[in-house]
Amino acid sequence: MSKMKVGMEEKLWIKAGLTDSEYELLTSHMGREPNTVELALYAQMWSEHCGYTHTRPLFKHFLTTGPRIVQGPGENAGIVDIDDDEVITFKLESHNHPSAIAPFQGAATGVGGIIRDILAMGAYPIASLNSLHFGHPGNEGNTRWLISEVIHGIGEYGNCVGVPTVGGEVRFSNAYKGNPLVNAMCVGFMKKSQIKKAIATGVGNSLMIVGNLTGRDGMGGASFASKDLEEENDADRGAIQVGDPFMEKLLIEACLEVFEEDYVVGVQDMGAAGILSSSVETASKAGNGVEIDVALVPKREAKMRPEEVMISESQERMLLIVKKGMEDKVNKIFHKWDLHAVVIGHVTDDGMYRVLEDGKKVGEVPVWSLMDAPTYLLEAEEPAHLKHTLSFRNEDVAVPEDLHAVLIKMLGAPDICSKEWVYRQYDFRVQMNTVVKPGSDAAILRIKGRDKGVGITMDSNGRYCYLNPRRGAQSIVAESARNQVVSGAEPIAITDGLNFGNPEKPEVYYQLEQSILGISEACRALDTPVIGGNASLYNQTPEFGAIYPTPIIGMTGLVKSLKHVTTMEFKQAGDFIVLIGETKAELGASEYLDWIHGLVMGDVPELDLKLERKSQDYILAVIRKGLVQSAHDLGDGGLAVALAESCIAGDLGADISLDLDIRSDALLFGESQTRFMLSATGKSVDSLIQMAAEKGIEAAVIGRVTKNKQIVINNLGSNLININLAECATAFNTGFDKLMKSDR
């Protein structure tokens, strides 16, 4: 292929997604111009999705090591130690662009892909979660259809493959109107001795493709996910993968059986860029080369070009690096599961990535050059909207006269209301490990045969990061950790999903950089290292612009004894209700301001990370001492919503008396950070207060749990709320159904 004259015809490298400077760089690496096969290799491996060209330089800020970290970033998934020679592996991935074009398959294959990342570590997948962001449906049926299809895709794949979907979140804002976010997380369990790595060691060892056939589905998915999302078109549909959960279930069982034998030296999932990325990454880690013959790859379609075979993202496929001489034994196991296992190449010692077709060389480039995608440190510019949004003062809005009505409306808000409409479509009990089901602060799974478990959470807040990217990102990490500790789990580590618009725009790059700094600062303060993650950029459309900056935090925690598992619902009438933390007059960035007043304004509530760590340690300590009947963090909607949630979940009332000189709406619905609501018996409450005082933590008894099923909140002798529990429960439990207007 020769360079085409500028102005005569579109340059092939531009069409492939490479810039002129990138094309010049790759020709320098090769010492010549690439042919069409080689150009396709670089276009995929140097895409943002595979090469992290705009985010990799910023990852240096993350804390990635710690006493429980067994594997940090750089593998298919991170691994943490949970004692007894046992480990948990977990990872988060996005499937935003595919889900916008084909929501059912986009969401389903997102689940399948993240499950295979966990499988590639040698682990059995034990749980899935998801974080979903949509535009408000309004009166439009299309958005409701999109929501329904995404949730159906997640449920269909997870239910069929036998991995429980145990938690997550669903959030709404018109910032996601044209570009929904679909992020999936998976958790796996194994012994330390069972850990696998993605490495192609041993010259002469075989590369075997196992699982499904290779087709043209998912063509160019990595480069498709590395550009702005345009109007739906047929070309984009070619980048959407098609999933088969029954095939995935067989693949899981077959791989785990092979892993029990000493046949395999390396494993890699075939995700973005398919055979190409999986083989390049394994060769690079070993410092070796590989040779692959595309004619040997089992295909479902005829006359596939070599580059199509290499970059196809057909699902349910894995790459195994198999010891020479063990190929037949591997094939025998996969054949038993009605799956193919075919040798498509071998490991070489020359450091070259060589593509053959029927033995004839059609492409050859240095392995290191494919992994050496150029990176960019761009100009960051504070978004212009911050000057306006930060000008907000509480006095800019009036206190509503009917706070009773406000609470009801808040409980039915899309971001707050019960998501049972969603999770009743998921099988969250399969495998029989689910101790705390969806709907609580964190999902809790038991480790079979042991008196311990793991806490799993997934949290975000795009509105916070839009209004203050750095503090907003800190708050998301803190919120995820709060959800862990109130459930009785000690936060261990996080995986992050960085969902942003086009980083080449200075204001978006500012949001990206500041959010990463915020995550890093919070993780260091809370001792929750970043062990892996995903970056999904270019989430914007011509019509609606960029999404909110939306970092998503997936966190795991260790429950040292199942006796420590704690839930949010009030347990019995007569228990004392204790508020931990300081309530300030903060309305900025709140769900209340957005949902009731239609304002996305103000600054994110203040956050003292040292106090946050101290408070979380206190909560975990009193739970482990058995002093707590229930625990719930105060997040979206503030004190009144948290109180109502605990009452609704326990089918009990509450009588609260406060003594705070704060305007009523800020008191009830402000989102001051580092606050918790506990309930305790009369025998325990004094110890709770005393331990808080010793730690220098603000704590106060604010009321009692009642059996009369009424929620009463007084402040400074005046009644603010006096409402029947049934009215609250109806608003909370039917909010999502009303949103969807569904007869399902």
Domain-embedded: residue 211 = yes
Q: Is the pLDDT at 739 greater than 60, yes or no?
A: yes
From the list 65, 62, 44, 46, the residue with the least C-alpha distance to 54 is 46
718: CB partners within 8 A, 6+ apart: none
* Domain assignment of residue 171, given as a range: 54-371
What gap in Å lies between CA 318 and CA 251, rounded to an integer? 8
What gap in Å lies between CA 312 and CA 221, rounded to an integer? 8
Domain-embedded: residue 515 = no
- Choosing from 318, 345, 371, the residue where a domain stops is 371
What gap in Å lies between CA 564 and CA 120, rounded to an integer? 32
Q: Is the pLDDT at 441 greater than 60, yes or no?
A: yes
User: How does pLDDT run across 175-202, given as a tens digit for each residue?
Assistant: 999 899 999 999 999 999 999 999 999 9
10 Å Cβ neighbour count for 324?
12
Domain-embedded: residue 414 = no
286: CB partners within 8 A, 6+ apart: 199, 200, 201, 266, 347
Q: Is the pLDDT at 4 greater than 50, yes or no?
A: no
Q: Is the pLDDT at 173 greater than 90, yes or no?
A: yes
In eight-state DSSP terms, residue 3 is: P
Query: Which residues belong to the active site?
Result: 49, 95
Token duo for residue 662: 């704060």
Beta-strand (E) ranges in 460-581? 490-499, 530-536, 540-541, 545-546, 550-559, 576-580
Q: Is the pLDDT at 317 greater than 90, yes or no?
A: yes
Task: Tell me what the mean pLDDT of segment 309-325 comes to.
Answer: 96
What gap in Å lies between CA 627 and CA 737, rounded to an integer? 37
What gap in Å lies between CA 367 and CA 42, rounded to an integer? 11
The secondary structure of 90-151 as a DSSP string is EEEEE-HHHHHHSHHHHHHHHHHHHHHHHHTTTPEEEEEEEEEEE---TT-HHHHHHHHHHH
Distances (CA, A) of 167 to 148, 309, 441, 455, 496: 17, 36, 9, 10, 16
Q: Is the pLDDT at 434 greater than 80, yes or no?
A: yes
What gap in Å lies between CA 187 and CA 185, rounded to an integer? 7
Domain-embedded: residue 679 = yes
* pLDDT value at residue 241: 75
Label residue 349 by pLDDT band (50, 70, 90): very high
* pLDDT value at residue 228: 55
Domain-embedded: residue 574 = yes
What percentage of residues in the chain have a pLDDT greater than 70?
95
* pLDDT value at residue 239: 53
SS (H, E, C) 676-736: EEEEECHHHHHHHHHHHHHHCCCEEEEEEEECCCEEEEEECCEEEEEEEHHHHHHHHHHHH
The pTM for the full model equals 0.95
10 Å Cβ neighbour count for 256?
15
* pLDDT value at residue 237: 46
Mean model confidence pLDDT for the chain: 94
User: How does pLDDT run across 443-482, given as a tens digit for each residue?
Assistant: 999 999 999 999 999 999 999 999 999 999 999 999 999 9
Beta-strand (E) ranges in 192-254? 206-211
User: How does pLDDT run across 548-588, given as a tens digit for each residue?
Assistant: 999 999 999 999 999 999 999 999 999 999 999 999 999 99
* pLDDT value at residue 5: 40
What gap in Å lies between CA 522 and CA 574, rounded to an integer? 37
What gap in Å lies between CA 585 and CA 578, rounded to an integer? 20
CATH label of the domain that carries residue 280: 3.90.650.10
Q: Is the pLDDT at 3 greater than 60, yes or no?
A: no
Q: Is the pLDDT at 2 greater than 70, yes or no?
A: no
User: How does pLDDT run across 196-246, given as a tens digit for each residue?
Assistant: 999 999 999 999 999 999 998 877 544 444 445 554 444 444 557 788 999
Domain-embedded: residue 237 = yes
Q: Contact 546/133 with Cβ under 8 angstroms?
A: no
What gap in Å lies between CA 391 and CA 673, rounded to an integer? 21
Total of domains in the chain: 2
- Choosing from 346, 371, 396, the residue where a domain stops is 371
10 Å Cβ neighbour count for 93?
24
What gap in Å lies between CA 130 and CA 673, rounded to an integer? 24
Domain-embedded: residue 744 = yes
Least confident of 79-88, 430-439, 575-584, 703-712: 430-439
Q: Is the pLDDT at 694 greater than 50, yes or no?
A: yes
* pLDDT value at residue 743: 42
Which element (helix H / strand E) includes 357?
A: strand 352-357
Token duo for residue 176: 């996601």
* pLDDT value at residue 156: 94
* pLDDT value at residue 139: 62
- Choosing from 323, 352, 371, the residue where a domain stops is 371
Q: Is the pLDDT at 284 greater than 80, yes or no?
A: yes
For helices 725-740 and 403-411, what crossing angle results, to 10°?
50
Domain-embedded: residue 34 = no
Q: Is the pLDDT at 744 greater than 50, yes or no?
A: no
Which element (helix H / strand E) includes 321?
A: strand 317-322
